[in-house]
Amino acid sequence: MAVSFTRFAKQMFVFFHVAAALLFLLACYGPYLSPERWWFLSFLGLGFAILLAVLIFFIFFWIVFAPRYMLISLLAMALGWKAITSFITLRPLPDFVAQKAPDTLRVMHWNVARFLELRRNDNNKSRVRARMLDIIKRQDADVLCFQEFYHSTDPQYYDNLNYIQQELNYPHVYFTWMEDGGKQWFGQAIFSRFPIVDTAKLVFPKPGLPETLLRADIAFGGDTVRVMTTHLQSVQFKKEDYESLEEIKSREDSMLQNSRSIFSKLKRAAVIRGEQAALVRAEMERSPHPIIITGDLNDVPNSYTYYTIGKGMQDAFLRKGFGIGRTYSGISPTLRIDYILTSKSFEVVQFQRIVRQLSDHYALVTDLKWKK
């Protein structure tokens, strides 16, 4: 039996419920609208988990007070079901089998954050790079796709390129740089144990950072697969921005003043990522081969970026993962911003996240095989 409460209170709760449902639906359909004009919808995408939680809360709330109002949440969730299934997957999660089947291609993606150590050292208490390389070695992947990869020809710094080629047995690599006298280079990299038969690079235009899209055509299983990896525009939060977020959370100082800089950076990054995503999509559509694309897209599943790049592709996490699939260890526990996407020519055999507090991103590994 429903518990009664005042008419005014009921009207207020209905109002907030309807408002939450409308914001939820805007977050669900925001990915279809370019952030150049509809940039504010990208903020709702970041809050998708909160809006979904509010709708679920109202379902249980109205069970007690007025069950018929549950329909507001149920209708909104039904209309936004596609967005929900892009955000979370609840299928049973089997153990990841370390031993590869002979006909599978194991792909590893990781934003390695320059391995956090640039200069050579013998400090056993701070050998982050060594632990990261050990994780990479133990995956025994056929293809490695790295973002924020670091390489140096200065003997005082780490030569990660040659180390991975020689010590980890990846003879084929695509990593581009220009000799500028600095002897240190950063960017994306693709390593492969299978032959690379063709390569190309797309440098995204300013005003974003000099991010790139790399592609390497790899001979595998009697056919050719186009492996692409990219790193899209980040928000570029600085130390003071993270401090502002903490002040907002604790309601210290001026919330308006702290929010202004943060929202400005979020808006700028969303617009630039939208432009970059369109360029990536155009490159994908020109491919004569099936595609595997990995990337730190710096955007959530309920975003224009993810929708543009992922349209018609398989998300390895959604196929074989479980839960929300957080890939970024900072700011929020709901940030899945790293992806492995594949053409439907592949079957996703298994998938895992490697949750280690080394880089600020978690590594992703998946096994793929050609569909018969």
Q: Are strands 223-231 and 291-296 parallel, antiparallel or unpaired?
A: parallel
CA-CA distances (angstroms) from residue 117 to 120, 121, 160, 248, 256? 8, 9, 11, 32, 37
Q: Tally Cβ neighbours within 10 Å of residue 1.
A: 4
- Give residue limits of the domains in the chain: 7-87, 105-370
CATH class of the structural domain 105-370: alpha beta
| pLDDT in the model for residue 136 | 98
| pLDDT in the model for residue 305 | 96
Evaluate whether 148 touches 231 at the Cβ level (below 8 Å).
yes
The 3-class secondary structure across the chain, one letter per residue, is CCCCCCHHHHHHHHHHHHHHHHHHHHHHHHHHCCHHHHCHHHHHHHCHHHHHHHHHHHHHHHHHHCHHHHHHHHHHHHHCHHHHHHHCECCCCCCCCCCCCCCCEEEEEEECHHHHCCECCCCHHHCHHHHHHHHHHHHCCCEEEEEEEEEECCCCECCHHHHHHHHCCCCEEECCCCCCCCCEEEEEEEEECCCEEEEEEEECCCCCCCCEEEEEEEEECCEEEEEEEEECCCCCCCHHHHHHHHHHHCCCCCHHHHHHHHHHHHHHHHHHHHHHHHHHHHHHHCCCCCEEEEEECCCCCCCHHHHHHHCCCEEHHHHHCCECCCCECCCCCCCCCEEEEECCCEEEEEEEEECCCCCCECEEEEEEEECC
Tokens of 198: 């063709």
Contacts with 196 (C-beta within 8 Å, 6 or more apart), sequence order = 172, 173, 174, 190, 216, 217, 218
pLDDT digits (tens), the chain, 372 positions: 455 568 888 899 999 999 999 999 999 998 998 888 888 888 888 899 999 999 999 999 999 989 999 999 999 999 999 999 999 998 877 889 999 998 999 999 999 999 988 888 877 656 899 999 999 999 999 999 999 999 999 999 999 999 999 999 999 999 987 655 678 888 899 999 999 999 999 999 876 666 799 999 999 999 999 999 999 998 754 544 444 445 444 555 544 455 566 777 788 888 999 999 999 999 999 999 999 999 999 999 999 999 999 999 999 999 999 999 999 988 778 899 999 999 999 999 999 999 998 999 999 999 999 997
Give dist(CA 58, CA 282) in Å, integer: 42
pTM of the model: 0.90
